[in-house]
Amino acid sequence: MARVKIYSTGVCPLCKRAKELLQKWNIPFEEVRVDIDKSALREFARQTNGARTVPQIIIDEKCIGGFTELTELHMDGELDELIDPRPS
User: Does 88 reside within a domain?
Assistant: no
Largest CA distance in the chain: 42
User: Does 78 reside within a domain?
Assistant: yes
Local confidence band at 41 (pLDDT 50, 70, 90 cut-offs): very high
* Domain total of the chain: 1
Local confidence band at 84 (pLDDT 50, 70, 90 cut-offs): confident
User: Does 18 reside within a domain?
Assistant: yes
Query: Is 80 exceeded by the pLDDT of residue 88?
Result: no
User: Does 34 reside within a domain?
Assistant: yes
Q: CATH number of the domain at 62, please.
A: 3.40.30.10
DSSP string, 16-79: HHHHHHHHHTT---EEEETTS-HHHHHHHHHHTTS--SS-EEEETTEEEESHHHHHHHHHTT-H
User: Does 77 reside within a domain?
Assistant: yes
Which pTM value belongs to this model?
0.90
The range of the structural domain enclosing residue 58 comes to 4-83
- Average pLDDT over the chain, rounded to whole? 92
